[in-house]
Amino acid sequence: MTAMKFGFVIVEGCGEESLAAEQTLHHLTEVEGEIECHRVPGTAETVLAAKCFAELTSVDAVLVFLPASSAVEPSVLTATLEGLTDIVLDWNMPIVTTISYPDGASLAHAAVTMVEMQIEMEQKAEGKMVDTSVN
């Protein structure tokens, strides 16, 4: 079992599922160190927090606890999810949100599944990378 590091981004007032997520992470995998948790004032601010996790820490995945989609202005939710998707693609770091998963346990399970998949694919790819540069 590979030790994994996780970060939580919690919009104020939306952390009720974080305890279940933390317990599930400890049940599913070896969690390296403490889960790093940061609270942000609103939905839009989760993008910067997730980017800071990607750039400034060594977490393997970020779990984002958002308010119910009905409680967020649709344009803000769309922009936030697009921003989080950009970070996933730019940094190859799984980010899972409560918009996609109904509870903390399923959110944690998704994060572990994605990290395990990424580790497996990286191990298979080692030494098989093809140089696609023109020069």
Parse the chain into domains and list their residue ranges. Answer: 22-125
What pLDDT was estimated at residue 134? 65
Q: Which two tokens stand for residue 102?
A: 């109904």
What pLDDT was estimated at residue 69? 82
What pLDDT was estimated at residue 30? 94
Measuring CA to CA, how many Å separate 62 from each of 26, 46, 88, 95, 130? Answer: 15, 10, 10, 5, 30
The better pLDDT of the pair 47, 102 is held by 47
Q: Is the pLDDT of residue 135 over 60?
A: no
CB 26 within 8 A of CB 62: no
One-letter amino acid for residue 27 of the chain? H
The pLDDT of 54-78, averaged and rounded, is 94
The pLDDT of 37-50, averaged and rounded, is 97
CB 31 within 8 A of CB 4: yes
Domain at 22-125: CATH code: 3.40.50.960
The pLDDT of 119-126, averaged and rounded, is 88
Q: Is the pLDDT of residue 130 over 70?
A: no
One-letter amino acid for residue 51 of the chain? K
The better pLDDT of the pair 49, 2 is held by 49
One-letter amino acid for residue 126 of the chain? E
Nearest to 93 by CA among 42, 48, 58, 43: 58
